[in-house]
Amino acid sequence: MWAYAARRVVIGILLLLALSLVTFILFFASPADQAKLACGKQCTQAQIAVTEKALGYDKPVYEQWAGFAKGVVAGRDFPIDQAQREAAPETVTHCAAPCLGFSKYYGETVNSLIKDYAPISISLAVVAVVLWLFFGVLLGIAAAVTKGSILDRGIVGLTLLVYAFPTFFIGVFFLKYVVVKWGLLDYPYYTPIAEGGVWGWLTNLWLPSLTLALVFLASYVRMTRAFVLESLGEDYIRTAKAKGLNSRAVLFKHGLRAALTPLVTMTGIDFGTLLGGAIITESVFAYPGLGLLTVQSSQAWDLPTVVGIVLIAGSFVVLMNIIVDIAYAFIDPRVRLG
């Protein structure tokens, strides 16, 4: 079992390294002149060359990537120009391992950026997961046990309708109407617990998390309904009923338990993806999480930040997949042999 887990971890690490290399290659395959963009409006070709060197973009892609990989393992000092580090030590920033790089665009290490931005994405993801799991599973069970009724059709129809709306539409609708036009809620600003307490943190997360949750909610309602219906049709449920168990015990003790297993797997993977940043929701609500950081750094052609985010977001997904794989291995011994 441990060998299986170790193998999955090693494959995950190799995958992340490959992911970072692909990001480097894609970045430089673009026709954009990143150094010219960074340098500014009136730069001469010579000044652009200086900027290119300062950003490290003058080196071959493999060399840049090797520098990055070295930083992940052993840490790095910035600026990368050794002459400048020696001449002006007050401008040196040390980035300890695992160093994801230094963003000239933001003026800080990518690790520090992620440390600042990740809590917002995590907060959004946690509240959204709670919302969609609670309401999604509840409505899914209600639809399953009332299969074919008006309630079932209403729930399924409504969730399909919500599912049809893109995230940005729901977010903008909330802001434009619920907040600005109808004035039902204050404009949401991310408020850390340290500043606004748990209540302040939660109330400001309500709208963006709901926006995020609504999209997932629809699929969780439908999946819960399907899984519950499937499990309720199993032989052991008929056996349980034949034993004289009441319908509540049959549903919650036997039917739902079996249906929840695939839901937990789904939740794990969705949660892992969301931890890497809810790009649209964070952009619509201007919540400075990893999603917004992704958008801003991509627009600014800020390679170190883009690579850092790709790696972090990838890590979350890989990690959740490893957990799921290992969990499956526990559940199904045949996987271990594979």
Partner 1 sequence: MGNRLKRMVALGAAGVLGLSLAACGGDSNDNGNKGPGGNNGEPGEAGGTLTVLQHFPFESSDPNRIYYGVQLASWRRTLYRGLVAFPMSEDPAVANTPVADLATDTGTSSEGGKVWSFTLKDGVKWEDGSDITCEDVQYGASRSFANDVIIGGPTYLLNYVDVKDYPGPYKATPEQQQAFDEAVSCDGKTITFHFNKPWADFPQAIAGLMMADPYKESQDKGDGSKWTILSNGPYKIEGNKWDKNKGATLVRNDQYDPATDDPEQLRLALPDQINWEVNPSDTAGELFNDRLIQDGPKDQAAITWARLNPAQLSQISGPVEDRYLNVVSPYTDYLVLNHKTLTDPAVRKALAVSLNANGYIKATGGSTVAEPAETIINPGVSGSQDNPAFAEDNDNNGDPEAAKAILEEAGVKMPVKIKLAYQKSPTQDKAMAIIQQTWNESGFEVTLDGQGDTYYDVIAQPDKDIDVMWAGWGADWPSAMTVLPPLFDSRPNFSSTTCGNDYGCYESDEVNKLFDDAANAADVDTQVGILQEIDAKLGEDYAYIPLDNQKFNWLRGSKVTGFTTTPASSQYPEIGLIGVAK
Residues of this chain that bind partner 1 (CB under 8 A): 30-33, 36-45, 47, 50-51, 53-55, 78-79, 81, 83-84, 87-88, 90-91, 93, 102, 104-108, 171-172, 175-176, 180-181, 183, 189, 283-286, 288, 292, 296, 299-300
Residue among 113 and 213 whose Cβ is closer to partner 1: 113
Q: How far is CA 282 from the centre of its chain?
A: 11
Residue among 52 and 270 whose Cβ is closer to partner 1: 52
* Distance (Å) of CA 81 to CA 101, 122, 309: 14, 35, 24
Query: From CA 333, how far away is CA 338, in angstroms rounded?
Result: 9
Residues 6+ apart with CB under 8 A from 86: none
Q: How far is the CB of 50 from partner 1 (least distance, A)?
A: 5
Q: How far is the CB of 89 from partner 1 (least distance, A)?
A: 10
Residue among 284 and 311 whose Cβ is closer to partner 1: 284
Q: How far is the CB of 130 from partner 1 (least distance, A)?
A: 24
Query: From CA 19, how far away is CA 10, in angstroms rounded?
Result: 14
Residue among 108 and 152 whose Cβ is closer to partner 1: 108
Q: How far is the CB of 10 from partner 1 (least distance, A)?
A: 36
Residues 6+ apart with CB under 8 A from 306: 23, 27, 294, 297, 298
Residue among 79 and 154 whose Cβ is closer to partner 1: 79
> Vertex 33, ends 29 and 39: CA angle to 5°?
145
Residue among 101 and 136 whose Cβ is closer to partner 1: 101
Residue 197 tokens, joined: 């307490």
Query: From CA 117, how far away is CA 120, in angstroms rounded?
Result: 6
Q: Scan for tokens 């480097």, then name that residue.
A: 24
Burial class (CB in 10 A: 0-12, 13-18, 19+), 248: exposed
Q: How far is the CB of 92 from partner 1 (least distance, A)?
A: 8
Q: How far is the CB of 165 from partner 1 (least distance, A)?
A: 15
